[in-house]
Chain A
Amino acid sequence: MSSTTENVSTGREAVLEEPPKLTPKQRRASNIADAASGGIRVILVKIVALGLLDALALTAIFILLGQREWLVIGIVVVATGLINWVYLGKRKLPAKYLTPGVIFLLIFQVFVLGYTAYIGFTNYGTGHNGTKDQAVSALMSSALERVEDSPTYAVTVLERAGTLNLLVTDPDGEVSVGNAETPLSPVDNAEFDGDKAVALDGYETLSFQEILAESDAITALSVPASEDPNDGALRTPDGSSGYLYVSTLEYDEAAGTMTDTTTGTVYTDNGTGAFTADDGEQLLPGWQIVVGADNFVRALTDESIRGPLVYVTIWTFVFAIVSVATTFFLGLFLAIVFNDMRMRGRKFYRVLMILPYAFPSFLSALVWAGMMNESFGFINQVLLGGADVPWLTDPTLAKVSILIVNLWLGFPYMFLVCTGALQSIPEELQEAATVDGARPWAVFRLIKLPLLLVSVAPLLIASFAFNFNNFNLIYMLTNGGPRDASAPIPVGYTDILISMVYKVAFTGETRDYGLASAFSIIIFAIVAIIAIISFRRTKALEDLN
Chain B
Amino acid sequence: MNATTTSGRLDDTSTRAVTTGDARVFERRPFKLGRWFRATGWRHVVGIVMIVFSCFPLLFVLSSSLNPQGTLTGSNALFSAVGLDSYVRILTSPDIPYTNWFANTLIVAGITAIATVFLGALAAYSFSRMRFTGRRFGLISIVIIQMFPQLLAVVAIFLLMSRIGDWFPALGLNTHLGLIMVYLGGALGVNTYLMYGFFNTVPASIDEAAKIDGAGHARIFFTIILRLVAPILAVVALLSFIGTVNEYVVASVILIDPEQQTLAVGLTKLVSNPRYADWSAFSAGAVMAALPVMALFLFLQKYIVGGLTAGSVK
Contacts and interface: CB of A to CB of B under 8 A. Distances in A.
Interface of A: 1-2, 5-6, 8-9, 12-13, 15-18, 33-38, 42, 60, 63-64, 67, 69, 72, 93-94, 96-98, 100-102, 104-105, 107-113, 115-116, 119, 124, 161-162, 334, 337-338, 340, 342-345, 349, 351-364, 366-371, 373, 375-378, 381-382, 408, 412-413, 416-417, 420-421, 424, 455-459, 465, 469, 471-472, 475-476, 479, 498, 501-502, 505-506, 513, 516-517, 520, 523-524, 527-528, 531, 541, 544-545
Given A100-B119, A161-B257, A67 B188 contact: no
Nearest to A356: B54
B293 A360 contact: yes
Interface string B188-221: 1100100000000000100110010011111101
B50 A334 contact: yes
A112 B159 CA distance: 9
A345 B11 contact: yes
Give the interface SS of chain A, mostly helix, strand, loop or mixed: helix
The CB with the most chain A CB atoms within 10 A, among B153, B154, B279, is that of B153
B268 A366 contact: yes
Contacts of B126: 93-94, 96-98
B167 interface: yes
Given A349-B51, A459-B312, A531-B147, A34 B131 contact: no
Interface stretch (B23-31, B86-94, B177-185): B177-185
10 contacts: A2-B134, A5-B135, A13-B131, A109-B186, A343-B11, A355-B55, A362-B268, A376-B71, A376-B274, A408-B57
A238 B306 CA distance: 65
B19 interface: no
The CB with the most chain A CB atoms within 10 A, among B152, B211, B242, is that of B152
Contacts of A513: 155, 159
B137 A5 contact: yes
Given A101-B192, A359-B294, A370-B271, 19 more contacts: A16-B130, A100-B119, A105-B187, A107-B185, A112-B185, A161-B257, A342-B7, A354-B54, A360-B293, A367-B60, A371-B57, A376-B72, A408-B54, A421-B309, A479-B272, A498-B149, A501-B155, A506-B154, A506-B158
A498 B151 contact: yes
A377 B271 CA distance: 13
Interface stretch (B40-48, B96-104, B227-235): B40-48
B312 A458 contact: yes
A161 B170 CA distance: 13
B47 A338 contact: yes
Given A35-B216, A104-B181, A370-B271, A359 B290 contact: yes
A104 B185 contact: yes
Nearest to B309: A420
Contacts of B61: 363, 367
B284 to A, nearest CB: 12
A112 B312 contact: no
B76 A349 contact: no
B297 interface: yes
B155 A109 contact: no
Contacts of A366: 267-268, 271, 282, 286
Contact of B73 (A98, A381, A456): A381
A38 B312 contact: no
The CB with the most chain B CB atoms within 10 A, among A17, A18, A33, A34, is that of A17
B46 A373 contact: no
B51 A60 contact: no
Contacts of A421: 309, 313
Nearest to A13: B131
B154 A502 contact: yes
A416 B168 CA distance: 46
Contacts of B107: none
A544 B139 contact: yes
Interface in B279-295: 279, 282-283, 286, 289-290, 293-294
Given A334-B50, A376-B274, A513-B155, A18 B131 contact: yes
- Please classify how large the interface on chain B is, using the bins under 10, 10 to 19, 20 to 34, 35 or more: 35 or more
Given A115-B160, A345-B12, A501-B154, A360 B54 contact: no
Nearest to B301: A354
A505 B152 CA distance: 11
B37 interface: no
Contacts of B314: 455
B248 A340 contact: no
B216 A520 contact: no
A9 B135 contact: yes
Interface string B49-85: 0110111011011000000000111011100000000
The CB with the most chain B CB atoms within 10 A, among A64, A471, A516, is that of A471
B180 to A, nearest CB: 10
A133 B151 CA distance: 31
B153 A113 contact: yes
A15 B203 CA distance: 10
B34 interface: no
A465 B290 contact: no
Nearest to B210: A37
B16 to A, nearest CB: 11
A506 B123 CA distance: 35
Contacts of A108: 150, 157, 181-182, 184-186
A167 to B, nearest CB: 21
The CB with the most chain A CB atoms within 10 A, among B129, B252, B268, is that of B268
A183 B44 CA distance: 73
Contacts of B182: 108
Nearest to A424: B313
Contacts of B297: 357-358
Contacts of A337: 43, 46-47
Contacts of A343: 8, 11, 40, 43-44
Contact of A109 (B72, B132, B150, B256): B150
A352 B188 contact: no
Contacts of A358: 293-294, 297-298, 301
Contacts of B32: none
Contacts of A475: 248, 268
A421 B77 CA distance: 42
A188 to B, nearest CB: 23
Contact of A378 (B76, B137, B216): B76
Nearest to A35: B216
Given A115-B160, A338-B47, A345-B12, A63 B153 contact: no
Contacts of A353: 47, 50-51, 54
Nearest to B214: A37
Nearest to A421: B313
A461 to B, nearest CB: 9
Given A18-B131, A119-B156, A513-B159, A527 B188 contact: no
Contacts of B57: 356, 364, 367-368, 371, 408
Contacts of B77: 382
A471 B58 contact: no
Nearest to B295: A358
